[in-house]
């Protein structure tokens, strides 16, 4: 039986479907597209599961429209011949008998200083031209919005941020770069994000932060976590250099 077929037979739960992914992962599916309201429900559910501290649940991994649950198969195994995920799904249906509110998870507010343009934002002029706005207006709009970390992905610590002003939406580059500097702040479609390390990438680069988004020796290693709120603050080159010196 494939995952989608299994999901049809999963115990009923309000507001999402459940389907097994391998032998130790259960996927809760809240929708099929990038949507701020759907993502808020995902984070509310994740927050609820963390608060109840369900035994046998090893990790809770939110994405845009899904919530992956890594569980201990031995803990959830029964003697009735049913697979462990079904026992977990039945318990989850009881836990979520009252759906979590979409605004339950507020997250932290994290300020990210950004030097926009110049060598750090090679595509800023192109974004401004695409939007029909001046460069200063693009910066003001990008830094004047509060974002939510919808999920981490692509690379350790890479935050996908929801909340970008529609005027700044812009397709990815036709020719991706082979090397994008660590800390680059970029736009890709309807999203903005930050490269946590030097990586290849096709998003439009508009600035760079001196903050270190991922450090394996730090606890937690990721500066931003799913559900956090982010505010960008425009800084000058001198402040960027001073902060960069303190971060390394």
pLDDT in tens, 158-203: 999 999 999 999 999 999 999 999 999 999 999 999 999 999 999 9
Residues 104, 47: contact at Cβ < 8 Å?
A: yes
Mean pLDDT of the chain: 90
In 3D space, the residue among 103, 37, 34 whose CA is nearest the CA of residue 63 turns out to be: 34
Fold adopted by 3-95: Gyrase A; domain 2 (3.30.1360)
Looking at the chain, which residues constitute the CATH 2.40.100.10 domain(s)?
109-247
Rounded distance between C-alpha atoms, residue 108 and residue 163, angstroms: 16
**Which is more confidently placed, 95 or 125?**
125
Spell out the residues 6+ positions from residue 149 whose beta carbon is closer than 8 angstroms to its own: 107, 159, 160, 161, 224, 225, 226, 227, 228, 229, 230
In 3-state terms, what secondary structure has residue 42? helix
In 3-state terms, what secondary structure has residue 149? strand
Rounded distance between C-alpha atoms, residue 48 and residue 67, angstroms: 12
pLDDT in tens, 70-79: 999 999 997 7
Q: Judging by DSSP bridges, how do beta strands 184-188 and 146-152 pair with one another?
A: unpaired
Tell whether the model's pLDDT for residue 43 goes beyond 50: yes
Q: SS3 helix, strand, coil % of the chain, rounded to 5?
A: 30, 30, 40
What CATH architecture does domain 109-247 belong to? Beta Barrel (2.40)
Is the backbone peptide bond immediately before 220 cis, with ω within 30 degrees of 0?
A: yes
The reported pTM is 0.85
% residues pLDDT > 90 (the chain):
77
In 3D space, the residue among 60, 2, 5, 73 whose CA is nearest the CA of residue 28 turns out to be: 60
Any idea which residue has 């099929």 for tokens?
A: 32
C-beta neighbour count of 156 within 10 angstroms: 14
Looking at the chain, which residues constitute the CATH 3.30.1360.40 domain(s)?
3-95
> How many Å is the Cα radius of gyration of the chain?
20
């Amino acid at each position: 039986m494939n995952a989608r077929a299994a999901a049809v037979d999963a115990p009923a739960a309000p507001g999402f479907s459940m389907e097994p992914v391998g032998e130790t992962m259960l996927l809760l599916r809240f929708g099929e597209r990038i949507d701020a309201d759907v993502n808020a429900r995902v984070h509310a559910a994740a927050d609820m599961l963390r608060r109840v501290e369900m035994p046998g649940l090893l990790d809770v991994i939110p994405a845009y429209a899904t919530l992956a649950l890594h569980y201990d198969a031995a803990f959830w195994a029964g003697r009735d011949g049913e697979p462990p995920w079904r026992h977990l799904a039945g318990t989850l249906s009881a836990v979520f008998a009252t759906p979590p509110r979409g605004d339950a998870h507020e997250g932290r507010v994290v300020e990210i200083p950004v030097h926009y343009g110049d060598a750090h934002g090679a595509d800023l002029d192109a974004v401004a031209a695409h939007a029909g706005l001046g460069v200063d207006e693009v910066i003001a709009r990008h830094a004047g919005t509060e974002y939510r970390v919808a999920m981490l992905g692509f690379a350790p610590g890479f935050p996908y941020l929801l909340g970008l002003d529609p005027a700044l939406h812009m397709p990815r580059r036709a020719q991706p770069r082979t090397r994008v500097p660590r800390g680059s702040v970029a736009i890709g479609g309807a999203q903005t994000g930050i490269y946590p390390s030097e990586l290849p990438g096709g998003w439009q680069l508009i600035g760079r932060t001196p903050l270190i988004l991922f450090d394996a020796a730090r606890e937690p290693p990721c500066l931003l976590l799913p559900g956090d709120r982010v505010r960008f603050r425009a800084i000058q080159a001198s402040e960027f250099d001073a902060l960069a010196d303190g971060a390394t």
